[in-house]
Copies of this chain bind each other. A is one copy, B any other.
Amino acid sequence: MTANGDLRSRILEQARVLLLKEGYSAVSMRKIAKAVGCTPTSIYIYFDNKDALIHALIEEGMELLAGDLAKASAPDSEPRARFRGTCLAFLEFGIQNPEYYQIMFLLHPEKMERYPTDKYRRARRNLELFADILREVRSGSSFDPMLSATVLWSLLHGAISLHLAQRLDVGMPASTFIDQVVEHAESMLLPESP
């Protein structure tokens, strides 16, 4: 029983694996159960329904992303470096964890009817983090930090989305693209270095 973790976490794990391998619409209670080695019914012991399971997964992803971003934005470095580092951390989270990213940011709320709205507020915090960094790095100049953070988020989100949807030029390595995105983010938001 304790051998390979408790059932709840094994369910989440296999759901994630399935998500990664076959995409959201191919994830079903049945398939998860088969992958885990239990019955579909057992899943309902730990999760009210399929949405609740997905939400738990989103929760996990949020935690992970929050950790990555916190590390990258730690105030022990020069502001511009923190800006770059945080952008990079976000981009890399999306590219390294496509299954989390998909359910966290690519799923339409229409599919998440039963998702308690307050959970979404958590995503807002990432925005505030970006706003904070921008405030610091552009101290003095007059601008709307939340608005700029939103635009920045758009850029990063768009870059990840296109990459995950495999709609980017196939010839270009991901790392090159990511670097370029960060560079453009800088020239978009940071004052020309002296």
Contact = CB atoms under 8 A, between A and B. Distances in A.
A154 interface: yes
Contacts of A23: 108, 110-111
A105 interface: yes
Contacts of A148: 180, 184
Interface size class of A (residues with CB under 8 A): 35 or more
Contact of A181 (B154, B156, B165): B154
Nearest to A120: B167
Given A151-B184, A180-B147, A165 B108 contact: yes
A161 interface: yes
A25 B189 CA distance: 37
Interface of A: 22-23, 25-26, 105-111, 120, 123, 146-148, 150-151, 153-159, 161-162, 164-169, 172, 177, 180-181, 184-185, 187-189, 192
Given A150-B177, A151-B180, A151-B181, 7 more contacts: A25-B111, A106-B106, A108-B166, A109-B166, A153-B162, A184-B188, A187-B188
Give the top 4 A-B pairs by smallest Cβ distance, nearest first.
A158-B158, A188-B188, A154-B158, A154-B159
